[in-house]
Amino acid sequence: MAKVTQLIHNYLRHSKRFPHVFCPGCGHGIVLGSLIRSVHSLGLAKDDVVLVAGIGCSGRIPVYVDFNSVHTTHGRALTFATGIKMANPRLTVIVIMGDGDALSIGGNHLIHAARRNIGLAALVLNNHIYGMTGGQSSCTTPLGSYSTTTPFGQLEEEFDISRVAKVCGSSFVARTTVMQARHMDKMISTAITHPGFGMVEIISPCHTQFGRKNRFKTSVDMYRWLQKKSVSLDKFQELPPEKRKDAVVTGIFEQKDCIGLEEKHARMRRELRGET
């Protein structure tokens, strides 16, 4: 067994009946692998890590890993995570959400968690579609693309998740794709160690639902397309404007020094109790 596979097995719940729910070729497993590598490289104890997830394909990730895991309601994962982090700031709380989860039904919670700058690491797995319910359009379905509820093409503009998080005050914002595993490892580790709200948007294509409606014959076609579209932030800034359209820009969009809300609360309490 390869070393990295062995490492991942150390973190899986073998009492849980595999196989997992992800389709062959899905990117969510790559994210899970990256998450495990990040937690391992940071040397965090399994007991200190809490995975909180919403509903959808991404919401099924925590059940497979031997951390404290909470599978919450649709769109509200951040609210549960806020309660957990405020109640016990010692815990490392990682929130896993999908695009519909984080930005459609849970949009209110995302913008406020970012504004509050609470010490959570939020991973938003963007597959541009509602995968689990059968491929309906989401708020990130690109303009003109097809889904089971946009049979004549999407008319609405899509959300740029990273931009939303940035303008709402998130102190760490990055985008990566499942085609860049090492970059993803780095982004996830940084978000976990970042003291305030850290959001990583991960482009993880859904070929089963999005691909079949948008002329991608296989998952490999979709990954090639993603690879072709991806461009790092540095390179993107050098591109002529006509080539900037449709590019998936990866990299860190925001990273500022801050203290998390839970730490501010602790300081206020110490001051009130005269324990400074």
List interacting residues with other proteins (CB under 8 A). Answer: 13, 15-17, 46-48, 50, 52, 62-63, 66-73, 76, 78-88, 90-91, 108-109, 112, 265, 268-269, 272-273
Task: Considering the complex, state which of residue 7 and residue 70 has its C-beta at the smaller distance from other proteins.
Answer: 70
Joined tokens for residue 215: 């002329």
CB 92 within 8 A of CB 40: no
Rg from Cα positions in the chain: 19
Least Cβ distance, residue 164 to other proteins (angstroms): 15
Distance CA 146, CA 154 (A): 6
| Between 89 and 251, CB nearer to other proteins | 89
The torsion defined by the Cα of 167, 168, 170 and 171, in degrees rounded to 10, comes to 60
- DSSP-derived pairing of the beta strands 248-255 and 172-177: antiparallel
Cβ 64 to other proteins shortest distance, Å:
10
Nearest Cα to Cα of residue 99 among 125, 74, 61: 125
Q: How far is the CB of 74 from other proteins (least distance, A)?
A: 9
Smallest distance from the beta carbon of 207 to other proteins, in angstroms? 25
User: H or E stretch including 146?
Assistant: none
One-letter amino acid of 73: T
- In angstroms, give the least distance from the CB of 15 to other proteins: 6
Q: Between 66 and 221, whose beta carbon lies closer to other proteins?
A: 66
Q: How far apart are CA 76 and CA 230, in angstroms?
A: 30
Return the number of the residue (235 or 270) whose C-beta is nearest other proteins: 270
Of residues 84 and 199, the one with the C-beta less far from other proteins: 84
